[in-house]
Amino acid sequence: MKKKRYSTEQIVSALKQAEMGMPVADLVRQMGITEQTYYRWKKKYGGLESEQVRELKQVLDENTRLKVIVYDHGRRAQLGQGGPSGRAFKKVPRPSLMKQVVDYVTQTHGYSQRKACSLTRQHRSTQRKPLRTDPLTELRQRMHEIVATRIRFGYRRVHIMLKREGWQVGKHIVYRLYREEGLCLRAKRPRRRKMAVHRQARCQPSGLNQAWSLDFAHDQLSSGAKIRLLTVIDVYSRECLAIEVGSRLRGDDVARILNRLVYLRGAPKALFTDNGAEFTGHIVDLWAYHHKVKMDFSRPGTPTDNAHIESFNGSLRDECLNINWFASLAEAKRLIEAWRRDYNESRPHMAHNGQSPAEFARNAGLCHGGKVKIAAGF
366, part of any domain:
yes
29, part of any domain:
yes
Secondary structure class of 232 (helix, strand, coil): strand
Taking every pair of Cα atoms in the chain, the longest distance, rounded to a whole number of angstroms, is 85
Q: What is the mean pLDDT of residues 145-154?
A: 82
Helix locations, the chain, DSSP H: 8-19, 24-31, 35-45, 50-71, 74-79, 98-109, 113-119, 125-128, 137-149, 155-164, 171-180, 251-265, 277-280, 282-291, 307-316, 329-345, 357-363
On whether both 331 and 344 belong to a single domain, the answer is yes
| Model pLDDT for residues 20-52, shown as the tens digit of each residue | 888 888 888 777 788 888 888 888 777 766 666
On whether both 160 and 123 belong to a single domain, the answer is no
On whether both 32 and 117 belong to a single domain, the answer is no
β-strand pairing of 294-297 with 270-273: parallel
Compute the distance between CA of residue 356 and CA of residue 344 in angstroms, rounded to an integer. Answer: 6
Number of domains in the chain: 4
186, part of any domain:
no
3, part of any domain:
no
On whether both 19 and 162 belong to a single domain, the answer is no
| Model pLDDT for residues 219-273, shown as the tens digit of each residue | 999 888 999 999 999 999 999 999 999 998 999 999 999 999 999 989 999 999 9
Domain that holds residue 40: 8-48
On whether both 265 and 160 belong to a single domain, the answer is no
**pTM of the full predicted structure?**
0.61
185, part of any domain:
no
For residue 238, the domain's CATH number is: 3.30.420.10
Which pLDDT band, with edges at 50, 70 and 90, does 129 fall under? low
On whether both 41 and 87 belong to a single domain, the answer is no
**DSSP readout, 255-301?**
HHHHHHHHHHH---SEEEE-S-HHHHSHHHHHHHHHHT-EEEEPPTT
